[in-house]
Amino acid sequence: MLSKQKLIELFSKFPTIGPRTASRFVYYLIKLPREDFDNLLTAMKKLREDTRICSFCFNPYEKSDNDSPLCPICRNPSKDKTILCVVEKENDLLSIEKTNKYNGLYFILGGVLSGLSENDIKKIRIEQLEKRIKDADFKEIIIATNPTQEGETTALYLQRRLKPANIKITRLGRGLPIGGELEYADEQTLESALEGRK
Ligand SMILES: [Zn+2]
């Protein structure tokens, strides 16, 4: 396969990128001055080398000298370790963290359910989530999936699946735009959704 075509295919796999945008990326790269191109390559390599995935919540974080397997949030002693907020993806965690209205731990599911087949369910980190809950002493689990159809399916599934753990399970309150995503919600809306959880 031509290298141009190959790269278009690879970019098309990026979130929200279709083949048309992917091919624009490729033309951009072709025209990029050599030095900028090399900088980009180095930055991408460094990103992988310097980043680690948290062994508790799956949040990526920059490696530091203390060599902890936990991200800065999980190893922050002032966090409330009795409350767990389950989100779909990294950006949702960041949005909630930015509100400063939540002081507990997180868990990144790594996806959402579009259906309830075994294959769908394999796409989210449900077994790891169950294990985290079993190994800890949470008093509340907040399901903070996005107010989309898939987010709703996922939330209902989680509520059912986590029921045997016998822990209070809450959902974000109303006010988030239906079909929207947490990462695009303004802080005020997200704050009141957190406060209004039930
Ligand atoms: Zn973590």
CA of 76 to the centre of ligand 1 (A): 9
CA of 129 to the centre of ligand 1 (A): 13
CA angle 90, 8, 27 (to 5 degrees): 105
pLDDT number for residue 63 = 87
What is the distance in A from the centroid of ligand 1 to the CA of 8? 33
- Please give the distance, rounded to the nearest whole angstrom, from the Cα atom of residue 157 to the centre of ligand 1: 23
181 closest CA partner among 15, 11, 13, 10:
15
- Structure-token pair, residue 16: 């929200």
C-alpha 138 – ligand 1 centre gap (Å): 15
pLDDT digits 0-9 by tens, 11-61:
999 989 999 999 999 999 999 999 999 999 999 999 999 999 999 999 999
- The β-bridge relationship of strands 80-87 and 140-143 is parallel
Residues with CB under 5 A from ligand 1 (ion): 54, 56-57, 59, 71, 74
Are residues 152 and 115 in contact, defined by beta-carbon separation less than 8 angstroms? no
For the cut 70, the answer to whether the pLDDT of residue 65 exceeds it is no
141-160 pLDDT, tens digit each: 999 999 999 999 999 999 99
Distance 54 CA to ligand 1 centre (A): 5
Evaluate whether 113 touches 154 at the Cβ level (below 8 Å): yes
| pLDDT tens-digit series, residues 68-118 | 899 999 999 999 999 999 999 999 999 999 999 999 999 999 999 999 999
Find the 125 Cα to ligand 1 centroid distance in Å.
Answer: 14
Q: Are 84 and 134 in contact (CB under 8 A)?
A: no
Measured in angstroms, how far is the CA atom of residue 63 from the centroid of ligand 1?
A: 12
Residue 97 CB contacts under 8 Å (≥ 6 apart), including other chains: 73, 106
180 CA → ligand 1 middle, Å:
25
Q: Residue 185 C-alpha to ligand 1 middle, in angstroms?
A: 23
Can you give the C-alpha Rg of the chain in angstroms? 19
pTM metric for this prediction: 0.85
